[in-house]
Structure 1
Amino acid sequence: MEKCHANKSIHCSVTQCANHCSTSDYCSLDRVQIGTHEMNPTETKCTDCNSFKLG
């Protein structure tokens, strides 16, 4: 198993994502793309991590 490079600037608790470091709650990407599925987002639940990749 390859050691995950945890990016300490990107905290993540979505363990189903392929970019999640299984040994800690961090993302292994250098950056993430955040988006929305709403025309006028007004709540946290209106935003999405577009960098999510099913692991």
Structure 2
Amino acid sequence: MKINNSIGCTVDECRFHAKKESFCSLDHINVVKHEKSARNQEATDCGSFKLEG
């Protein structure tokens, strides 16, 4: 698995997590908002997440 040192990640339940290091293995991620207007961190998520398994 390749590691993208430009995308940090601590969500090791994701299939794209680099496992041995706190990085993502994707070339890019899609950040999405789940409110009409994102005004804080809690209003956004990584839309590229896929459950490991």
- TM-score of Structure 1 vs Structure 2, range by shorter chain: over 0.9
Q: Which has the greater radius of gyration?
A: 1
Q: Normalising by structure 1, what TM-score?
A: 0.91
CA RMSD of aligned residues (A): 0.5
Name structure 2 gaps, 5 residues minimum: none
Q: Normalising by structure 2, what TM-score?
A: 0.94
Q: How does 1:23-38 map to 2 (within 5 A)?
A: 23-38=20-35
Name structure 1 gaps, 5 residues minimum: none
Q: Could you tell me the percent identity over the aligned residues?
A: 38
